[in-house]
Amino acid sequence: MSTLFTPFSMGPLTLANRIAIAPMCQYCADEGMAGDWHMIHLGHLALSGAAILFLEASAVSPEGRISPKDLGIWSDGHAAALAPIVAAMRRHAPIRLAIQLAHAGRKASSMVPWEGGANIAVGEGGWQTVAPSALPHAEGDTVPLALDDDGLARIRDAFVAAAVRSHALGLDAIELHAAHGYLLHQFLSPLSNRREDQYGGSLENRMRYPLEVFAAVREAVPASMAVGVRISATDWVEGGWDIEQSVRFSQELSAAGADFIHVSSGGISPAQQIALGPSYQIGFASRIREATGMPTIGVGLITEARQAEDIVARGDADVVALARAMLFDPRWPWHAAAQLGARVDAPPQYWRSQPRQYKDLFGPAA
């Protein structure tokens, strides 16, 4: 029996298998509003056979967008724009739905990737960024304003309001984005956090604000909604955030009631030196899973069915997440199930596509 296609629970949330679709920014929202592309894109992925689909990073405030085209959830209007998309997926697919709540911090106000991704200056259509400290992400970028107590409270409350809207939409889970060099990660890393108050300096202090945001979000939604965190396990920069600090942070999150941890890496500095290769981040996930016992999602150049099967069968991660591989092959879970001799969910409209040699791929398909 394939371990990849066995059920698994992350807190209150039961998954049909161990395959997740990682959040992937689409950079096509209008003033943060979801539109036709999101209906097509997310609806397409909802039929993939994966167990859970994470909606892309959704900004909790306008200045928290990575680019002017980012998806947002900072108002009831933004939630209303997402509602018909969520409803359509619910009607046609059993996939679990999660949202990644995010604030880009000093990495905000950037061009979309296919236009180069460079920082947009304030006088050229960009906006003033904020961060733990007044340190730009890269030379020449807008210097962010260091957040004061009022700013910290405002952003924490924005996360809470976004979480409440996400629950009202009927989503199954929330993932707080504390990875890839965005705001919550900026507080964690000593490379970006040079504060001299209770939110800077020691590891305990640098963890304080992300943990406060998590606690506020966890309290704002019922226990029936799973809440987890995506982290960068290492900055890939000497003197930066690393796996041992990630273990400690994950232990604190577990104690605070986190239902899962999603383990990625990098993004805090252009100086990063990433050792790329198949499954290159899975060792970090394994270390955190072993130290915390928390349901763990592993991600990073996972492209092959047997590769994913081996990861979960060995216990290196409980769930594997795919991003680019799923864009390239939106039926990746079907093909993986065929290769591994497993069953996968497919809509009845597609049952007749089942290849003759895989007579049980879609279960009792008639």
Give me the mean pLDDT over the 216-231 stretch: 98
Choosing among 2.40.70.10, 3.20.20.140, 3.20.20.70, 3.10.310.30, the CATH entry for 3-353 is 3.20.20.70
The structural domains of the chain, with segments of one domain joined by +, span: 3-353
**pTM for the model:** 0.96
Alpha-helical (H) ranges within the chain are 36-46, 76-92, 149-168, 183-188, 203-220, 243-255, 282-292, 305-314, 324-328, 332-340
Mean pLDDT computed over every residue of the chain: 97
319-327 average pLDDT score: 97
Q: Which helix (H) or strand (E) holds 230?
A: strand 226-232
Q: Name the residue type at position 1.
A: M
**CA 13, CA 34: separation in Å to the nearest integer?**
25
Which residues are within 8 A (CB) of 30 and not within 5 positions of it... i.e. 6 or more apart?
A: 69
3-state secondary structure of 175: strand
pLDDT tens, 185-198?
Answer: 999 999 999 999 99
Q: With beta carbons less than 8 A apart as the criterion, state whether 261 and 10 touch.
A: no
Name the catalytic one among 182, 199, 280, 358: 182
pLDDT at 117: 95
What value does the mean pLDDT take over residues 260-289? Answer: 97
Percent of the chain with pLDDT over 70: 100
Is 199 one of the annotated active-site residues of the chain? Answer: no
